[in-house]
Structure 1
Amino acid sequence: MSESRKQFVLSKGATCNNWNWSWSFTNHDEKMVIFGAWDFNTDNEKSLIMHKDWQKKNNRQQPGYSQAIEHLKLLDQGYNLYIFYQENISDDEGEPKIGKISDNLLKAYMKYDGEAWYAYKNAFDYLPDERDAEEEYFEGTRKLVAVNAYERNKDAREECIRIHGYKCKACDFDFEKKYGEHGKGFIHVHHIIPLNMIGKRYKVNPEHDLIPLCPNCHAMVHRFKNNELGLDKLKELISSGK
């Protein structure tokens, strides 16, 4: 570990089991879990901080992985997740090398997708935000981070909203009606067929492949990864709960 990163982590009252191989750090007094986020694993919304593929390297168990798993478990015990950004200055794709690091910690929100752990800047930023109907939109293109991530097409999202509006298709919740100007223009967009099930570049139809959902309904759809709900089933549950 670079001395500057060690000094930065220590300045936040955090520590680890070994400064040479640790990826994550804890401050138990402040209930903080801290991860460094590489620049090449970061986009505008989130950072990839852990992946199951990182468990072994050259068929050898990575101690940093085991420690990081234990640290992630602390998030279920009331700890908060924080990240700091770190620059990779190595030309070797297999061996990142730390250059500059950010001088502040950012509070983040962890999401696990079954293979990878992501740190999101905002609690509801799990999806990103109108255009001509004849345009073609492609989604699911693989983007190189350290694993395969699935790109989302912002224009397709906007076209979906232009067609369907900002009202939730499941429960009819309207953020603007409820919150006025503050809620205007806010809604999640749901892929009826999840991108990770398609696994390749494909042409998306914003009218038929995407629907607007409020965050609550969106969360219920994705609550169980192996048993995601369809729109009709979700509406049934809403009706039965009234």
Structure 2
Amino acid sequence: MKTNDVDILAFGAHADDIEIGMGGTAAKYAAAGKTVVFCDLTKAELSSNGTVADRAEEAKRAAALLGVQKRLTLDLPDRGLFLTEEAIRAAAEIIRRFKPKAIFAPYEKDRHPDHGACSRIVQEAFFSAGIRKYETAGQWDAHKANRLYFYMINGFHHPDFCVDTGEFMETKKKSLQAYRSQFVISEGSVATPLTSGYIEAVEARDRLMGKETGKTFAEGFLTSSPLLIEQDLIGD
């Protein structure tokens, strides 16, 4: 069974994880004509604010703002993400279905356990999806992506590389603001870390990453293996 190859496949534990960590990069590559697909492992059914239906609609709007070609939501349990064979096979099937050149996942070191679990699940799926005899539910051919990268959600870590996202910071902020149930206090909602200046903190982190690289804004990433530089080592 065949499907169109995509350039970027980004995984998150919950809708809004990918936007927080790499919304600017996703928008930049989509604007350049690259195909970008998002996959949320859970429906975020245990979130303190909002409903599953709210989150699904917000995720749809956010993806559209970023130029994402397709967004999928798996049915793995919120706060029940663990390194299980079920979870690995589910992620591996998505990799085989879309055949991405590059895969992105949360960085494993994060205060939210689901983010670390998502990272570990995708790392295993990245490897297993390339094994011909490894079985997944869909009858897709084995696929080995070129690269596996990790984005930051909570916290600040020293990146292995950064992407200049200055032209797309406002787009990223709009995609985050689409999640009103998560980032805005309203009637019936409760205060959480997300409602206490979280978007502003993300913007400040991206600004700091930009200063580290001589740009206005940037997003930082970590790699699963060293990057090979084949051309100019000096830069502009």
Would you call these one fold, judging by a TM-score over 0.5? Answer: no
More strand by share: 1
Structure with the greater relative contact order (CA < 8 A, sep ≥ 6): 1 or 2? 2
- Normalising by structure 2, report the TM-score: 0.22
- Normalising by structure 1, report the TM-score: 0.21
More helix by share: 2
